[in-house]
């Protein structure tokens, strides 16, 4: 009797392996594609209409930047009509926008317009050439397939049809290179205009160089000047300033700020209902460095944080007073009188600095990452290695989630094969799950990567970047690599590779080499890419939804409502909610580059992706132009330094797109034929990468140096070659620059409490010995820094904080408030926009609010000296008579600031106790005068550049110990050891 063989059904494990090998075997159902289209465009349209009707009624959200900007940076006013903003935004010209929103924002908009125009032209080329070729050529094998699938080259084989793909590759590359060249020239003109602007020429960083890895023998002010002079002598002597060791001051200040914010959060939650306090006071865990004092048990949060803030303020003050010049650091700054000289030296030392140091064009002071300036090369290399390893491990870790999303979320039927209960539900509700499939797969793909930019930003800070803007450029470039590898390459290619490997392993009757040849790896790869291109079509459609969400500020509304309803926000958080938000350039540039890469790679496989990408870029141009004008700010202006990074990544995307076309031509057009005999199609594509590299080389030689440097030769050479009649600058015109670490001068923040809870503060602190003090007798409109040293001797002196109700009298220490009470009506960024603690985060260097710190200095830092002109105690009698009314004078600027904002008394320079007015010098003869900022002390340039024995204290201890008030000026001076005198010996 014959035995019947029973075939067992495949196990769930076998089904899972099959799905990994071919996750898009049945493609995405037509209904899910339609669902994605309807979902994307309908929700996008609704959000757009909501924005149009809410915008005139909510300036607090939709015009926050316009609300707080000064007259120069204020955008044009908008009418109340729901669609009136479109014409106003469209009519804004680029040259006007440079002054209004800054060059970084203008560059972002120009890049978006370039991408919109590129994909608009590629849409015409791709849809008019590739769709007819694919649809007609695949009629024989794909006649009954879905329409979108027939738009791909999946069903065409051999023949001369693939010459169309070769022609498209050349047209794509030529179009993109043409647009890049045109915009490169425009960016060059914008950058040169930026160099010639009054703001740039008057700024400190424009004529300053940053030096790192300075050898020990040159770590003095004069040593830096000599070091930089040895690389390229110039007509004028650079002013040097070596960095000082501030020890653990930055860490202490960071801990203080964290403690203040934590205390504010506990107080806000505890005092949220002023009519009835909770029965139990809040508790918290003790910080690691306080466990010896407080133990490991939970303690009263309010008392503990209050004491911790007081201890930290005391420690900060002690460290500030003990910082001296005995331990100079390996970094410093060299400043020139002429921008041409500084940039020429930076250009000459761009590859190799003098004595092994690195020379950069100095960023703006608030742009510097001060903790990384003194990092050694060994430490940088070690951190770069480990941080790079972490990025690789993170990239590998994301492979598994990508495989699972590609196998299951792209087609819920695959999930039903390994989860039978879900298959039952899927069969019962096919329409609903089809809609969910078209929405969830792209949405989860986006949500998976939301935290990656934050992690990368921390890694690059740890790796040793010297400025925030350079860190943002590195973050954008690494994000692009991460997204392209994980999102595009792994997600799109892994299924085809796995299927090919499983085919080779399953070929038991053939050798390995024969199995590999019969597996047709390139054909399987192209087929898999054609299938997955439909997923990327739905993903690109959801980019339109993202643009509408940004424009409507939906997340801002949701987060603001959630925070106000459930989280008991502190007064500081309420103020920050009303502030204009910084624009995250790294994340958005990565998004635009990745969308462009998907469009170029998948657009040749599924041409419908090209118009969808063009539509998205068009929406982004309009939406981001509005957001840059009316809601967002540039936190740190780099002057358009992102451009070269963007061009390089876009050219790489072109190269990747050409590789995809070459793969299609090789797999489908040549196939199994002899490549050396029948490979004319591939041979025709060989010049494409060489054309691309040649174009890149041309752009580098023609534009890059001119975009980065104001001049590549010193001013004296320019003068002799181009304008011999131009008189040399007078010595009185010289301005020296000194960058000081903000940890020495930064004003500490003060805890904020809502005024509605003011009457409860004595009850909260009733058990403390200082409960009856006047520290709760607010409201106060300025914060108080109790960690300011008594007197500073580091190139500047401070004014005592004066009592505004008693002119001429300082605020007594016992009356200093240590709690800032804020009224409900004052919980608006308008009242705090000039404070450093808010301005640095939500207004860059303060330029948006009419107070650009880089033109003079950061609050309380020494910056300019050795210029005796009319707006000074040393000027002529004529200057003194008119100094109060001169529009550019220091006095008039200070008065204007006071008149503009009488509530905010801490927005300008902050000074400590012990300030002494310099004696009035004899009047100079009347002459042509220059209006510049002056120091508080009559320092001589030679005294500043004098080689020190490194024992001069940064803080004048004699003033702190009770020395006479003029002790600073009575210090004995050694012989003239300045670099100036040495240079002319």
Q: Which residues pair with 335 in a beta bridge?
A: 208, 239
| CB count in 10 Å sphere of residue 364 | 26
3-state class of 822 per DSSP? Answer: strand
- Detail the DSSP E strand segments found in 29-121: none
Give dist(CA 522, CA 427) in Å, integer.
35
* Domain-located, residue 570: yes
What is the dihedral sign for C-alpha 658, 660, 662, 665?
Answer: negative
- Please say whether the beta carbons of 196 and 178 come within 8 A: no
Give dist(CA 240, CA 220) in Å, integer.
8
Query: Would you give the DSSP letter of residue 324?
Result: B
Give dist(CA 586, CA 115) in Å, integer.
17
Alpha helices in 92-220 (DSSP H): 94-101, 103-137, 147-150, 163-196, 198-202
* Domain-located, residue 179: yes
For the stretch 29-47, pLDDT in tens is 555 677 777 778 888 899 9
- Please say whether the beta carbons of 571 and 822 come within 8 A: yes
Which structural domain, as residue segments, surrounds residue 189?
12-201+464-672
* Domain-located, residue 376: no
288 token code pair? 């690691």
Give dist(CA 219, CA 240) in Å, integer.
10
Q: Quick one: pLDDT at residue 847?
A: 67
- Please say whether the beta carbons of 222 and 977 come within 8 A: yes
Give dist(CA 774, CA 299) in Å, integer.
26
Three-state helix/strand/coil letters over 840-875: HHHCCCCHHHCCCHHHCCCCCCCCCCCCCCCCCCCC
* Domain-located, residue 145: yes
- C-alpha distances (whole Å) from 322 to each of 336, 648, 834, 957 are 31, 48, 30, 8
Write out residues in the chain with pLDDT < 70, as ranges: 1-32, 139-146, 325-326, 405-418, 434-435, 437-443, 445-446, 448, 495-496, 498-520, 669-678, 718-739, 767-817, 844-847, 849-985
What is the dihedral sign for C-alpha 593, 597, 603, 609?
Answer: negative
Three-state helix/strand/coil letters over 325-350: CCCEEEEEEEECCCHHHHHHHHHHCC
839 token code pair? 């301005």
Residues 6+ apart with CB under 8 A from 278: 270
Report residue 795 CA to chain centroid gap: 32
- Please say whether the beta carbons of 16 and 498 come within 8 A: no
Give dist(CA 654, CA 255) in Å, integer.
47
What is the distance in angstroms between the CA of the first residue and the CA of the last residue of the chain? 118
3-state class of 276 per DSSP? Answer: coil
Helix (H) / strand (E) element for 916: namely none
Closest residue by Cα to residue 228 from 334, 331, 350: 334
264 token code pair? 């504010």
- Please say whether the beta carbons of 794 and 939 come within 8 A: no
How large is the greatest C-alpha to C-alpha distance in the chain, in angstroms? 129
Helix (H) / strand (E) element for 432: namely helix 430-447
Q: What angle do CA 243, 244, 246 make, to 5 degrees?
A: 130
What is the dihedral sign for C-alpha 270, 274, 280, 281?
Answer: positive
- Please say whether the beta carbons of 37 and 541 come within 8 A: yes
* Domain-located, residue 706: no
Q: Is 633 left (phi over 0), alpha (psi -120 to 50) or beta?
A: beta
Q: Is 698 left (phi over 0), alpha (psi -120 to 50) or beta?
A: alpha
Report residue 865 CA to chain centroid gap: 33
- C-alpha distances (whole Å) from 563 to each of 115, 231, 567, 829 are 37, 56, 5, 17
3-state class of 402 per DSSP? Answer: helix
The 3-state DSSP composition of the chain as helix, strand, coil percent (nearest 5) reads: 60, 5, 35
Torsion angle of alpha carbons 310, 315, 318, 322, nearest 10°? -160
Give dist(CA 1, CA 686) in Å, integer.
67
Rg (CA), the chain: 33
Reported residue count of the chain is 985
Number of structural domains found in the chain: 1
* Domain-located, residue 933: no
* Domain-located, residue 507: yes
Q: Quick one: pLDDT at residue 888?
A: 36
- Detail the DSSP E strand segments found in 272-320: 283-284, 299-300
* Domain-located, residue 122: yes
Backbone phi, then psi, for 897, in 5-degree steps? -65, -40
Backbone phi, then psi, for 837, in 5-degree steps? -65, -30
Report residue 621 CA to chain centroid gap: 20
For the stretch 348-366, pLDDT in tens is 999 888 988 999 999 988 8
Helix (H) / strand (E) element for 209: namely strand 208-212
Place of tokens 């009506």: 825
CA atoms within 13 A on the CB side of 415: 19
664 token code pair? 């299609």
Q: Which residues pair with 753 in a beta bridge?
A: 821
What is the dihedral sign for C-alpha 429, 435, 437, 441?
Answer: negative
């Amino acid at each position: 009797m014959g035995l019947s063989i029973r075939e067992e059904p495949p196990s769930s494990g076998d089904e899972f392996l099959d799905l990994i090998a071919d996750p898009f075997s049945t493609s995405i159902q037509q209904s899910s594609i339609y669902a994605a289209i309807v979902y994307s465009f309908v929700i996008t349209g609704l959000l757009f209409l909501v924005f149009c009707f809410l915008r005139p009624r909510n300036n607090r959200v939709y015009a926050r930047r316009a609300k707080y900007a000064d007259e120069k940076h204020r955008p044009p006013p908008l009418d109340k009509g729901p669609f009136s903003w479109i014409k106003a935004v469209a009519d804004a010209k680029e040259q006007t926008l440079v002054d209004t929103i800054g060059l970084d924002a203008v560059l972002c908009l120009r890049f978006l317009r370039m991408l919109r125009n590129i994909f608009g032209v590629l849409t015409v080329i791709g849809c008019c050439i590739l769709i007819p070729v694919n649809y007609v050529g695949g009629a024989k094998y794909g006649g009954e397939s879905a329409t979108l699938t027939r738009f791909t080259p999946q069903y065409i084989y051999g023949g001369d049809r693939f010459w169309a793909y070769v022609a498209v590759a050349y047209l794509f590359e030529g179009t993109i290179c043409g647009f890049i060249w045109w915009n490169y020239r425009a960016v060059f003109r914008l950058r040169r205009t930026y160099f010639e602007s009054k703001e740039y020429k008057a700024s400190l960083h424009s004529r300053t160089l940053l030096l790192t890895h300075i050898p020990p023998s040159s770590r003095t002010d004069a040593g830096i000047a000599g070091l930089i002079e040895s690389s390229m002598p110039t007509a004028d002597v650079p002013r040097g300033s070596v960095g000082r060791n501030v020890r653990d001051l930055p860490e202490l200040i960071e801990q203080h700020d964290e403690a203040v914010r934590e205390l504010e959060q506990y107080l806000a939650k505890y005092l949220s209902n002023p009519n009835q306090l909770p029965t139990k006071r809040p508790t918290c865990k003790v910080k690691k460095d306080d466990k010896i004092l407080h133990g490991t048990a939970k303690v009263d949060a309010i008392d503990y944080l209050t004491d911790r803030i007081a201890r930290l303020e005391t420690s900060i003050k002690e460290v500030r007073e003990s910082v001296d010049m005995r331990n100079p650091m390996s970094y410093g700054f060299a400043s020139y009188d002429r921008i041409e000289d500084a940039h020429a030296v930076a250009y000459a030392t761009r590859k190799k600095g003098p004595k092994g140091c690195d020379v950069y064009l100095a960023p703006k002071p608030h742009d510097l990452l001060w903790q990384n300036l003194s990092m050694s090369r060994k430490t940088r290399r070690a951190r770069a290695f480990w941080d790079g390893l972490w990025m690789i491990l993170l990239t590998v870790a994301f492979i598994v989630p990508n495989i699972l999303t590609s196998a299951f979320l792209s087609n819920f039927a695959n999930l039903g094969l390994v989860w039978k209960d879900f298959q039952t539900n899927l069969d019962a509700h096919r329409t609903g799950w089809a809609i969910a499939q078209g929405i969830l797969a792209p949405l989860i793909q986006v949500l998976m990567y939301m935290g990656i930019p934050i992690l990368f930003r921390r890694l690059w800070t740890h790796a040793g970047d010297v400025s925030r803007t350079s860190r943002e450029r590195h973050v954008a470039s690494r994000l692009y690599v991460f997204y392209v590898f994980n999102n595009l390459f792994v997600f799109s290619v892994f299924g085809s590779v796995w299927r090919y490997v499983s085919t080779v392993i399953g070929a038991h009757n053939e050798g390995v080499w024969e199995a590999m040849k019969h597996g047709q790896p390139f054909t399987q790869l192209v087929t898999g890419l054609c299938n997955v291109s439909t997923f990327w079509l739905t993903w690109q459609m959801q980019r339109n939804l993202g643009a509408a969400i940004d424009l409507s500020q939906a997340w801002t509304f949701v987060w603001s409502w959630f925070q106000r309803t459930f989280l008991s926000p502190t007064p500081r958080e309420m103020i920050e909610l009303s502030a204009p938000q910084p624009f995250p350039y790294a994340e958005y540039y990565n998004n635009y580059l990745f969308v462009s890469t998907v469009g170029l790679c998948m657009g040749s496989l599924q041409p419908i992706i090209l118009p969808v990408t063009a539509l998205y870029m068009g929406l982004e141009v309009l939406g981001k132009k509005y957001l840059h004008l009316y809601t967002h700010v540039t936190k740190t202006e780099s002057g358009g330094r992102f451009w070269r990074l963007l061009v390089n990544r876009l050219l790489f995307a072109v190269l990747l797109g050409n590789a995809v076309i070459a793969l299609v031509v090789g797999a489908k057009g040549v196939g199994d034929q002899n490549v050396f005999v029948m490979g004319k199609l591939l041979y025709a594509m060989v010049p494409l990468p060489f054309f691309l590299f040649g174009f890149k080389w041309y752009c580098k030689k023609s534009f890059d140096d001119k975009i980065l440097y104001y001049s590549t030769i010193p001013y004296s050479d320019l003068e002799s070659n181009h304008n011999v009649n131009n008189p040399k600058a007078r010595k009185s015109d010289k301005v020296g620059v000194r960058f000081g670490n903000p940890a020495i001068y930064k004003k500490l923040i003060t805890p904020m409490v809502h005024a509605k809870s003011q009457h409860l503060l004595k009850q909260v602190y009733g058990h403390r010995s200082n409960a009856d003090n006047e520290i709760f007798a607010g409201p106060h409109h300025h914060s108080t820094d109790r960690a300011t040293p008594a007197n500073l001797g580091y190139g500047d002196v401070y004014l005592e904080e004066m009592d505004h109700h008693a002119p001429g009298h300082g605020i007594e220490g016992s009356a200093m408030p240590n709690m800032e009470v804020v009224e409900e009506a004052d919980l608006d960024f308008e009242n705090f926009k000039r404070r450093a603690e808010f301005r640095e985060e939500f207004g860059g260097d303060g330029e948006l609010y009419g107070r650009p710190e880089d033109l003079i200095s950061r609050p309380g830092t020494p910056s300019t000296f050795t210029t005796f002109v009319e707006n000074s105690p040393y000027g002529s009698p004529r200057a003194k008579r008119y100094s109060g009314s001169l529009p550019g004078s220091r006095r008039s600027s200070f008065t204007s600031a006071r008149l503009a904002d009488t509530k905010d008394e801490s927005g300008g320079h902050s000074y400590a106790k012990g300030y002494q007015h310099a004696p009035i010098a004899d009047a100079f003869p009347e002459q042509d005068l220059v209006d510049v900022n002056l120091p508080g002390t009559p320092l001589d340039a030679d005294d500043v550049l004098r080689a020190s024995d490194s024992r001069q204290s940064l803080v004048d201890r004699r003033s702190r110990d009770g020395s006479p008030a003029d002790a600073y000026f009575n210090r004995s001076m050694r012989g003239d050891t300045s670099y100036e005198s040495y240079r002319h010996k």
